[in-house]
Amino acid sequence: MKGRLYIFSGPAGVGKGTVLHLALERLSGIKYSVSCTTRAPRPGLDKEGETYHFISEDEFRRRIAAGDFLEYAEVHGHLYGTRRDIVESALEAGTDIVLEIDVQGAFIVKQKMPEAVMIFVKPPSMEELRRRLEGRGSEGREERELRIKNAEAEIACADKYDYVVVNDDLEKTVDEVINIVKKNREELQ
């Protein structure tokens, strides 16, 4: 049986990376798709090949032309793309795979692969999202304001997702994500 594709989206600062990381630690048979990006690594947070493959814009454009990406998009002024080879080989091998990608990329993938399961992580409120973004301090003021502006547009797309989870309590949100994956596996049997 082929693996199942999951798409995981949500605005910057909502905690989706943490939620996903904790959920994947407790699930087996599902892997994380490491994207390519032209953004600079965040010192102390990013690790080449684990969080992203960090490549130049020239290299990114070369890979677009070669058809290497299942989808790609410009997000917050940088290019991000999903490697087609990683996704296809996981699904062929019967392994589930999750893409942590923005809403533009999510809809491109859903169009190509309608069986993909889409999960959106929402903040409890915009005030809380702003507070979390300021707290994490990984961006300057200008970059942060851009992310907040983009968040509103992204949240407006949440109702097109199959599942929406509100990250107000980390443990509860992780449980919800795990239950979504388990439920989809049961339905496949």
The residue among 71 and 96 lying less far from ligand 5GP, judged by its C-beta, is 71
Q: How many residues bind ligand 5GP (CB under 6 A)?
A: 15
- The answer to whether residues 31 and 97 touch, using CB atoms and an 8 Å cutoff, is yes
Cβ–Cβ under 8 Å, residues 106 and 118: yes
Of 88, 49, 81, 43, nearest in space to 63 by CA: 81
Beta bridge partners of 26: none
- Nearest approach in angstroms of CB 94 to ligand 5GP is 23
Give Cα 14 distance to the centre of its chain: 12
What's the half-sphere exposure (Cβ side, CA atoms, 13 Å) at 128?
A: 11
With contact defined as beta carbons under 8 Å apart, do 167 and 124 qualify?
yes
Residue nearest to ligand 5GP (CB): 105
Quick check: 165 binds ligand 5GP (CB under 6 A)? no
Give the Cα separation of 189 and 186 in Å (integer).
5
Q: Would you say 3 or 81 has its CB closer to ligand 5GP? A: 81
80 lies in the binding site for ligand 5GP (CB under 6 A): yes
35 binds ligand 5GP (CB under 6 A): yes
Say if residues 127 and 19 touch (Cβ distance below 8 Å).
Answer: no
User: CB 1 → ligand 5GP: shortest distance, Å?
Assistant: 26
Under rule CB under 6 A, residue 167 binds ligand 5GP: no
Interface with ligand 5GP, residue 117, by CB under 6 A: no
User: Judged by CB under 6 A, which of 22, 105, 119, 173 binds ligand 5GP?
Assistant: 105
Shortest distance, position 14 Cβ to ligand 5GP, whole Å: 9
Interface positions with ligand 5GP (CB under 6 A): 12, 35, 39, 71, 73, 75-76, 80-82, 100-102, 104-105
